Structure 1
Amino acid sequence: MDVTKLKQEVIEYAHQIGIDKIGFASADTFESLKQRLITQQALQYESGFEERDIEKRTNPDLLLPKARSIIAIALAYPSKMKNAPRGTRTDRRGIFCRASWGKDYHHVLREKLSKLEEYLREKREDIRTKSMVDTGELSDRAVAERAGIGWSGKNCAIITPEFGSYVYLGEMITNIPFEPDTPIEDKCGTCNKCVDVCPTGALIQGGQLNAKRCIAFLTQTKGFLPEEFRSKIGNRLYGCDTCQTICPENKGKDFHLHPEMEPDPEVVKPRLKPLLTISNREFKEKFGDISGSWRGKKPIQRNSIIALAHYKDITALPELASLLKNDPRPVIRGTAAWAIGKIGGEDYTNQLNEAWMAEGDEEAKKEIEKGLKMAMNTKSSQS
């Protein structure tokens, strides 16, 4: 079969099924990436969500024996929300990052890749493939960069000339020797805005990220959020867009090409106080279709508490006090206590004292102590 002709047919079919950009790369080992990953692991800059085996992350042949090429795809997602609701002083709202708007992108891209696989199988009986989106062993960004989808920006995102960095990425390893495309020239130049503006200093330098300090990672953790980061996340419930919104390459980029990616404003910019008591079933019904729900409701509730503290929302104090007294989860009890103190709930010092006496979890107890200290300081400053 003429592989050159097949490549063109695949490109045309990809566009027919709604793939916004497609590129082809060799299945050679990602040697430069391997060295960077070794450095990242040595510095303990990885989040822990990644595949630990560096060989699997950099050698496609380990994932699909006799791999010959990789097909990379990109789908553009919106950067602006239509009819975004506005919070009020007594009814504050949180926000999910843009990459979590609409239907979970893992499902959307896997559907596209499945169609591509089926198309190739109809063309060649000997086709073998392995597809992945985000959670696979390979680095989506490294594949996309090699395939000419875009360049790897200083913010560690793939930046495309057409859609900026507002793209979802996926790839398919194949045993077909497709001709590789040419990588795109890096256009970041001397611009360092993303590094300079990163709220937590997670971008150590252009192209190097300490994932453990990244808000996108921190909002997904389930334990107590380290106190140094609580003032940084603001009203973010999941993810962070700061290094994308500041990027000059993203200016004016807003594409609404896929109806399933359109955000439901009440889902991605939800009211905070109702999240404090939402049931598992209610959470799944409302948020289950978006990628930001994958860790369950606990991180979202913890982040909601921190957001209410950020706003110093005194109307939330009764709900926070109820969580402090009744919630079975130490992280939620402790974070609620901290938030009460942060908001300035000096009227709740008796409840904080009672909670401290009854608390059996040491970490939660320390958070109650922090809340008490802040509440007492507020009381004394107003005396």
Structure 2
Amino acid sequence: MTRSPHQVSTIIKSKAIEAGFSFCGISKADFLEEEAPRLESWLNQGLHGEMAYMANHFDKRLDPRKLVEGCQTVVSLVFNYFPSPSHIPLNHHFKVSKYAYGEDYHRVVKDKMQILWDSLQDDLGEISGRMFVDSAPVLEKAWAKKAGLGWIGKNANLIIPKKGSFYFLAELLIDIPAEPDGPIKDFCGTCTRCIDACPTDALSPYWIDGSKCISYFTIELKEGIPASMKSDFEDWIFGCDICQDVCPWNRFSKAHQEPRLEPSATFLDMKKEDWENLSEVVFKELFHYSAIKRTKISGLQRNILYVNKKNES
């Protein structure tokens, strides 16, 4: 049975919700004309720091048809990761980005996408394509914006109206046409709370200097934090949520319902001295399936040392 693009879109969105995603939006696979000069300018200014991979596959980042042969449709998916207040660590002085409290989101979201993919195969017949969770040269936020899921805020995050920005983004690139959605307006208004709150001045309206971001320093940077760096990281040792925490739209955030994203009791009970005295064995055991393992224990120790020195000065 041949489905119309409208029917395909309806089925995809329905199945996405059944698989556990919060929202789903559809875009026609095409060249991201608006993003091309922005990406080129961002790279030319060196705002990606030492994240050399961001300069790779420039054409594929802007055109999914060059990434996945035969791609006709980009399906944008969002998955809530905002924790319950009872699962926000209170016993230590170090801070970890909320997305890393539980199991590595790549694993969790990819499993949800596989459920969705299998379900779509049953309903739409044999479809071809690929699924991505922050694992390929795909401009996730640009596609989510194009699909009308939200707007790109002044903190460079996707903000969903009356839902906030604590969401993982993922995409299905498929070879069948589906009725596309359209973008919505920007609701940041005159607010600059995210820009004003950033301790490293990494933000300017709708731009982020990745080479100044606390998340960059604590995760992406593989060498030592430069001696020229004078900013206070405000106790963040893995990632940073400041620009999201201060965003008025995140007052609408609701706790996720995914058990695999919940922090372990050990993580919640960790105090400052536990982090400082973390051994290689305990690190591997505690963060084996966590996004935190990406920084390795050496990176975590480097971050803790930097934060402690700033607190002493």
Corresponding residue number in structure 2 for 1:201: 201
Q: Is the 8 A contact 1:75 1:167 kept in 2?
A: yes
Corresponding residue number in structure 2 for 1:139: 139
Q: TM-score, normalised by structure 1?
A: 0.75
Corresponding residue number in structure 2 for 1:18: 20
Q: Decide which structure has greater helix share.
A: 1
Identity %: 28
Does 2:239 match 1:239?
yes
User: Is there any run of 5+ residues in structure 1 with no aligned partner, and where?
Assistant: 313-341, 343-383
Q: Which amino acid aligns with 1:209?
A: I
> 1:159, 1:84 → 2: CA distance?
22
Judging changes above 3 Å, is the alpha-carbon distance between structure 1 residues 266 and 227 closer, same or farther for their aligned structure 2 residues?
farther
Does 2:231 match 1:227?
no
Q: Is the 8 A contact 2:87 2:263 kept in 1?
A: no
Q: Which amino acid aligns with 2:15?
A: Y
For residue 117 of structure 1, report the CA deviation from its aligned partner: 1.7
> 1:26, 1:65 → 2: CA distance?
14
> 2:160, 2:110 → 1: CA distance?
21
Deviations 1:37-85 (A, max 9, x none): 1101110001415351210111101111221111111011125541655
Corresponding residue number in structure 1 for 2:217: 218
Q: What SS does the corresponding residue of 1:50 show, helix, strand or coil?
A: helix
Does 2:74 match 1:75?
no
User: Is there any run of 5+ residues in structure 2 with no aligned partner, and where?
Assistant: none
Corresponding residue number in structure 2 for 1:280: 280
Q: Is the 8 A contact 2:87 2:268 kept in 1?
A: no
Corresponding residue number in structure 1 for 2:177: 177
Judging changes above 3 Å, is the alpha-carbon distance between structure 1 residues 123 and 252 closer, same or farther for their aligned structure 2 residues?
closer
Judging changes above 3 Å, is the alpha-carbon distance between structure 1 residues 6 and 258 closer, same or farther for their aligned structure 2 residues?
same
Deviations 1:103-156 (A, max 9, x none): 111111111211222222223444111111112111111111111111111100
Q: Is the 8 A contact 2:154 2:206 kept in 1?
A: yes
> 1:144, 1:269 → 2: CA distance?
36
Judging changes above 3 Å, is the alpha-carbon distance between structure 1 residues 166 and 86 closer, same or farther for their aligned structure 2 residues?
closer
Q: Is the 8 A contact 2:84 2:256 kept in 1?
A: no
Judging changes above 3 Å, is the alpha-carbon distance between structure 1 residues 79 and 85 closer, same or farther for their aligned structure 2 residues?
closer
Q: Which amino acid aligns with 2:288?
A: G
For residue 93 of structure 1, report the CA deviation from its aligned partner: 3.2
Q: What SS does the corresponding residue of 1:70 show, helix, strand or coil?
A: strand
> 1:309, 1:270 → 2: CA distance?
20
Task: Indicate the RMSD between aligned Cα atoms, in angstroms.
Answer: 2.0
Does 2:44 match 1:42?
yes
Corresponding residue number in structure 2 for 1:56: 60
Compare relative contact order (CA 8 Å, sep 6+) and give the higher one, 1 or 2.
2
Judging changes above 3 Å, is the alpha-carbon distance between structure 1 residues 270 and 30 closer, same or farther for their aligned structure 2 residues?
farther
> 2:229, 2:268 → 1: CA distance?
22
> 1:56, 1:62 → 2: CA distance?
5
Within-5 A mapping of 1:22-33: 22-33=24-35
Q: TM-score, normalised by structure 2?
A: 0.91
Q: Is the 8 A contact 1:78 1:262 kept in 2?
A: no
Q: Which moved more, 1:126-135 or 1:254-263?
A: 254-263
For residue 162 of structure 1, report the CA deviation from its aligned partner: 4.0
Q: What SS does the corresponding residue of 1:156 show, helix, strand or coil?
A: coil
For residue 230 of structure 1, report the CA deviation from its aligned partner: 5.3
Corresponding residue number in structure 2 for 1:154: 154
Judging changes above 3 Å, is the alpha-carbon distance between structure 1 residues 277 and 222 closer, same or farther for their aligned structure 2 residues?
farther
Corresponding residue number in structure 1 for 2:11: 9
Q: Is the 8 A contact 2:90 2:268 kept in 1?
A: no
> 2:89, 2:262 → 1: CA distance?
15
Corresponding residue number in structure 2 for 1:104: 104
Corresponding residue number in structure 2 for 1:317: none
Q: Which amino acid aligns with 1:156?
A: A
Judging changes above 3 Å, is the alpha-carbon distance between structure 1 residues 105 and 213 closer, same or farther for their aligned structure 2 residues?
same
Q: Which moved more, 1:42-51 or 1:70-79?
A: 42-51
